């Protein structure tokens, strides 16, 4: 009888170990991706060319606000570089893409937006409960000490010392004017001033981000005074100056995501041929890490 019990115990123990082995999980410190089952993540992009045929309009997303980034970027970045319940900090919150996708993917989000009317409008996209527990929208100048202190206070409420992901989608200099506010990066008098103000925002983001975690910069270049202005690479240099290391420079196809350009396609072709330049059909998704 004793031998039978011993055999049964060994068999049960072996079965238990087998279950543990079969369900073993291996993740990084910043992601829930199970590396033991890496073949199951075909939907996650690991190359540097991202092509999306159209903007996602499901899950609470819309395209009513000119200049917002497509939700697919948030989906890719969140799954690669965050865990459930992590806090995403977006210092150019805009129409709320970062917050909407945080809710959809069981993350939390703090967004800072300069325009008070936009804060009021975007707040309506979330329930009152979500605005208390999962998404906090702060109306402030993201380059200011005031914004930094308000974000830190909200992090304390959320039980976090720092954010686990930083999202930055600034205006592309003065290409689109988003407001009349002098603090608005789209109203900078010069491109150099734009870089300086962007650096101040990125510095706040750096200070508020947890060490070892990631930042994502979504930005395009511009064409002015008969020359290509590489906004993306200069903003990357400013982030490197702050202490971020560059992990990836991704080229994202912009076709299908722009508005009102189809009617003037021939005019743009004429201008390109006459001016010796090429029409932008891409923007950058740059990934950084705070080390």
The domain locations on the chain are: 43-290
Bigger pLDDT: 259 or 49? Answer: 49
Bigger pLDDT: 24 or 236? Answer: 236
- The model carries a pTM of 0.87
Asked whether residue 15 carries a pLDDT value surpassing 50, the answer given is no
pLDDT of residue 138: 97
Bigger pLDDT: 196 or 22? Answer: 196
Asked whether residue 4 carries a pLDDT value surpassing 60, the answer given is no
Report the chain's mean pLDDT, rounded to a whole number. Answer: 89
User: In sequence order, what are the beta bridge partners of 228?
Assistant: 223
Percentage, residues of the chain above pLDDT 90: 75
pLDDT of residue 55: 73
Bigger pLDDT: 231 or 62? Answer: 231
Can you read off the two tokens belonging to residue 214? 């990631």
Can you read off the two tokens belonging to residue 39? 């073949």
Q: For the domain 43-290, what is the CATH code?
A: 3.40.50.150
Q: Which helix (H) or strand (E) holds 275?
A: helix 265-275
Of 231, 175, 225, 176, residue with least CA distance to 199? 231
Q: What is the separation, in whole angstroms, between the first and last Cα of the chain?
A: 60
Q: What is the mean pLDDT of residues 28-41?
A: 96
Length of the chain: 291
8 A C-beta contact, residue 48 and residue 249: yes
């Amino acid at each position: 009888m004793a031998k039978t019990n011993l055999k049964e115990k060994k068999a049960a123990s072996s079965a238990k170990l087998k279950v543990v082995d079969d369900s073993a999980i291996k993740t990084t410190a910043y992601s829930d991706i199970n590396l033991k089952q890496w073949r199951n993540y075909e939907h996650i992009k690991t190359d540097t060319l991202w092509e999306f045929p159209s903007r996602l309009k499901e899950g609470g997303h819309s395209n009513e606000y000119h200049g917002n980034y497509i939700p697919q970027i948030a989906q890719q970045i969140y799954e690669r570089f965050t865990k459930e319940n992590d806090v995403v900090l977006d210092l150019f919150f805009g129409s709320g893409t970062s917050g909407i996708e945080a809710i959809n993917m069981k993350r939390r989000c703090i967004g800072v937006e300069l325009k008070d009317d936009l804060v009021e409008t975007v707040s309506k996209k979330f329930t009152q409960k979500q605005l208390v527990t999962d998404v906090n929208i702060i109306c402030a100048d993201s380059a200011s000490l005031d914004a930094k202190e308000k974000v830190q206070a909200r992090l304390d409420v959320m039980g976090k010392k720092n954010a686990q992901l930083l999202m930055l989608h600034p205006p592309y200099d003065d290409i689109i004017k988003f407001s009349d506010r002098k603090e608005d990066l789209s109203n900078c008098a010069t491109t150099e001033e734009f870089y300086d103000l962007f650096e101040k925002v990125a510095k706040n983001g750096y200070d508020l981000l947890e060490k070892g975690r990631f930042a994502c910069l979504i930005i395009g270049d511009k064409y002015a005074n008969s020359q290509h202005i590489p906004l993306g690479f200069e903003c990357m240099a400013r982030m490197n100056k702050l202490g971020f290391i560059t992990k990836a420079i991704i080229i994202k196809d912009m076709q299908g995501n722009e508005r009102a350009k189809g009617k003037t396609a021939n005019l743009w072709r004429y201008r390109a041929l006459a001016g010796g330049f090429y029409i932008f059909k891409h923007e950058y998704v740059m990934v950084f890490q705070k080390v």
